[in-house]
């Protein structure tokens, strides 16, 4: 097993869960600022006030009512915690955190830019100079430490001002707003950042309905397809523009690695799984990589009465803005079946059917390193462009012992076979160029809003009730990953 020379080892984060400083430095609010804390049992809520000023906390985002005529306003209500506001405060700790990444030997660090820190209202005339300067400092410091920034441009955090105008990506004016934002960040950071990702886990829009159960109306399905179409075109136009600004840019798409298996060998399950992979994964991947919708897209549109607003120009833009690399998150696999299954797992983001060959995390996520090798090989076989695993890891409870010591051997036990799986895929011909583990420094969980679901090599003193002094600490896994990087993946011993 050998990782290529220059393999990019590192870690990954996202502004909405890590950066904090939500109302500092001229930043405008984003969708994720109105999401409360939660847990596996009690889902996160979105809070808002209706036209009579009455506060609500609901699971569903009232996007349509938030349009100008609806009178709904997103609002932070008393009695709720909004963990994303502070995240784990990269905004004020970036120097310290980058020093820790450098100490671990990172070659790459994945983070996202908060769109509303650059354009507080999403489409202002002029960008926010303080926001531009903040990321410039961060990227410069990363470079000084020989760490390549890998930058996501949209990680769940659409500026709220745009949601009020155009709903949740329900208007094609989003495309120009995103391209304008892309132009500013590409131009400002063209000599500091080479690796870019457009939309984080773009396929969640579809896979969250299918994998996690739930029937939705054709109308809702059509909205999700519209949302995706505008994001596909926005991404393609940004990719094309990025290459004009700096031909050395490597710009990728980012998908949630929602890899599924047929639960039985019943041919009907094989078919079900194929369709699941098409709808939840290949639908988005194919548009990004091939620059056109796949033949099966027509079947999905027909089944749900979807009439998409696709122009000739869109088709041209999609063709001209294909990505340079394919990146995805990989946490687990899920099973699909046409049969009734009684053995279920409870967990956020988990399909529910228990795979008897796998173990499960405390949050009900299947631990499946073989699935990582399998996904790498299947995806590379289809696309033949460089791949990156840009999220992977174990969300777990950590115990802080005397002297700030954290023995997280379970985390190391999770990583070892996953790294071995990547090595085997590389040996089998896959062009994998990077690995960034999720939440390399503890941050707020996207799914549950918890702090106690920790992924980091770096501990942050912050808790579910909002307390904690935010000091940083090194877990056992910190020293282990340092050794892994130093040996370029040769030495995985504990």
Q: Can residue 327 be called a binding residue for ligand BGP (CB under 6 A)?
A: no
Cβ-contact 447, 348 below 8 angstroms: yes
Query: In whole angstroms, what is the distance from residue 375 CA to residue 234 CA?
Result: 27
CB of 90 to ligand BGP, least distance (A): 14
Cβ-contact 111, 18 below 8 angstroms: yes
CA neighbor of 417 nearest in space, from 383, 392, 387? 392
**423/447 with CB nearer ligand BGP:** 447
Query: In whole angstroms, what is the distance from residue 282 CA to residue 284 CA?
Result: 5
Binding positions for ligand BGP, 393-452, rule CB under 6 A: 395, 438, 445-448
Q: Can residue 200 be called a binding residue for ligand BGP (CB under 6 A)?
A: yes
Binding mask 449-488 for ligand BGP (x = CB under 6 A): ----x-----------------------------------
Q: Can residue 489 be called a binding residue for ligand BGP (CB under 6 A)?
A: no
Binding positions for ligand BGP, 7-26, rule CB under 6 A: 14, 17
Torsion angle defined by CA atoms of residues 238, 277, 431 and 287, in that order, rounded to the nearest 10 degrees: -20
CB of 40 to ligand BGP, least distance (A): 10
CA neighbor of 398 nearest in space, from 345, 366, 439, 348? 439
Query: In whole angstroms, what is the distance from residue 375 CA to residue 259 CA?
Result: 7
- 125 in active site: no
Residue 468: CB atoms within 10 A of its CB come to 16
**72/254 with CB nearer ligand BGP:** 254
Q: Can residue 329 be called a binding residue for ligand BGP (CB under 6 A)?
A: yes
Kindly tell me which residue out of 32, 198, 256, 334 binds ligand BGP, with binding defined by CB under 6 A: 256
CB of 156 to ligand BGP, least distance (A): 7
By Cβ distance, which residue is nearest to ligand BGP?
A: 447
Residue 472: beta bridge partners? 460
Q: Which residues neighbour 311 within 8 Å (Cβ) at sequence distance 6 or greater? A: none
**297/379 with CB nearer ligand BGP:** 379
CB of 396 to ligand BGP, least distance (A): 10
CB of 153 to ligand BGP, least distance (A): 14
Pairing of strands 432-438, 359-360: unpaired
**14/236 with CB nearer ligand BGP:** 14
CB of 202 to ligand BGP, least distance (A): 11
Residues 19, 86, 272, 391: which is the catalytic one?
A: 391
Q: How many residues bind ligand BGP (CB under 6 A)?
A: 14
CB of 87 to ligand BGP, least distance (A): 11
Q: Can residue 195 be called a binding residue for ligand BGP (CB under 6 A)?
A: no
Binding positions for ligand BGP, 339-398, rule CB under 6 A: 391, 395
Determine the distance from the C-alpha atom of residue 279 to the mean position of all C-alpha atoms in its chain, rounded to a whole number. 18
Q: Can residue 201 be called a binding residue for ligand BGP (CB under 6 A)?
A: yes
Query: In whole angstroms, what is the distance from residue 133 CA to residue 337 CA?
Result: 51
**11/447 with CB nearer ligand BGP:** 447
| Cα Rg of the chain (Å, integer) | 21
CB of 365 to ligand BGP, least distance (A): 8
CA neighbor of 342 nearest in space, from 352, 330, 327? 352
**17/337 with CB nearer ligand BGP:** 17
CB of 32 to ligand BGP, least distance (A): 10
CB of 7 to ligand BGP, least distance (A): 22
Cβ-contact 118, 154 below 8 angstroms: no
- 420 in active site: no
Residues 201, 272, 279, 450: which is the catalytic one?
A: 201
Does the CA dihedral 142-146-149-150 come out positive or negative?
Answer: negative
User: Rule CB under 6 A: which residues touch ligand BGP?
Assistant: 14, 17, 200-201, 256, 329, 391, 395, 438, 445-448, 453
Active site members: 201, 391
């Amino acid at each position: 097993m050998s990782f290529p020379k220059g393999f990019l080892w590192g870690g990954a984060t996202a502004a909405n869960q890590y950066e904090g400083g939500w109302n500092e430095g001229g930043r405008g609010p984003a969708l994720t600022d109105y999401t409360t804390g939660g847990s596996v049992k009690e889902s996160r809520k979105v809070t808002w006030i209706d036209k009579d000023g009455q506060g609500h906390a609901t699971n569903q985002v009232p996007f349509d009512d938030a349009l100008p005529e609806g009178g709904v306003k997103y609002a932070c209500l008393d009695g709720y915690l909004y963990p994303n506001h502070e995240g784990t405060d990269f905004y004020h700790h970036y120097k310290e955190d980058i020093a820790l990444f450098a100490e671990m030997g990172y070659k790459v660090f994945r983070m996202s830019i908060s769109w509303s820190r650059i354009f507080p209202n999403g489409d202002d005339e002029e960008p926010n100079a303080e926001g531009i300067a903040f990321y410039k400092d961060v990227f410069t410091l990363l470079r000084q430490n020989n760490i390549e920034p890998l930058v996501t441009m949209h990680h769940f955090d659409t500026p709220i001002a745009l949601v009020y105008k155009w709903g949740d990506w329900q208007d094609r004016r989003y495309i120009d707003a995103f391209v304008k934002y892309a132009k500013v960040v590409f131009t400002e950071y063209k000599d500091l950042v080479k690796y870019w990702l457009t939309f984080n886990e773009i396929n969640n829009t579809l896979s969250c309905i299918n994998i996690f159960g739930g029937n939705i109306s054709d109308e809702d399905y059509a909205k999700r397809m519209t949302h995706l179409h505008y994001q596909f075109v926005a991404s393609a136009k940004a990719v094309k523009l990025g290459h004009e600004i700096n031909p050395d840019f490597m710009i990728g798409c980012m998908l949630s690695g929602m890899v599924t298996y047929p639960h039985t060998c019943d041919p009907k399950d094989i078919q079900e799984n194929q369709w699941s992979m098409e709808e939840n994964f290949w639908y988005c991947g194919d548009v990004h990589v091939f620059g056109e919708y796949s033949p099966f897209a027509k079947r999905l549109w027909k089944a749900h009465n979807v009439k998409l607003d696709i122009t000739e120009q869109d088709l041209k833009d999609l063709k001209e803005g294909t990505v340079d690399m394919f990146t995805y998150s990989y946490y687990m696999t899920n099973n699909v079946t046409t049969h009734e299954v009684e053995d279920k797992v409870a967990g956020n983001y988990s399909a529910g059917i228990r795979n008897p060959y796998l173990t499960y995390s405390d949050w009900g996520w299947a631990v499946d390193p073989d699935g990582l090798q399998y996904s790498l090989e299947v995806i590379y076989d289809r696309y033949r462009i460089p791949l990156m695993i840009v999220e992977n890891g174990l969300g777990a409870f950590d115990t802080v012992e005397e002297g700030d010591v954290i023995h997280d051997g379970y985390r190391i036990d999770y990583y070892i076979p996953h790294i071995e799986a990547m090595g085997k895929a590389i040996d089998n011909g896959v062009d994998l160029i990077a690995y960034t583990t999720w939440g390399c420094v503890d941050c707020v969980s996207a799914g549950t809003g918890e702090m106690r679901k920790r992924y980091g090599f770096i501990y942050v003193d912050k808790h579910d009730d909002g307390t904690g002094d935010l000091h940083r600490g090194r877990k056992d896994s910190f020293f282990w990953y340092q050794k892994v990087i130093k040996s370029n993946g040769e030495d995985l011993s504990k």
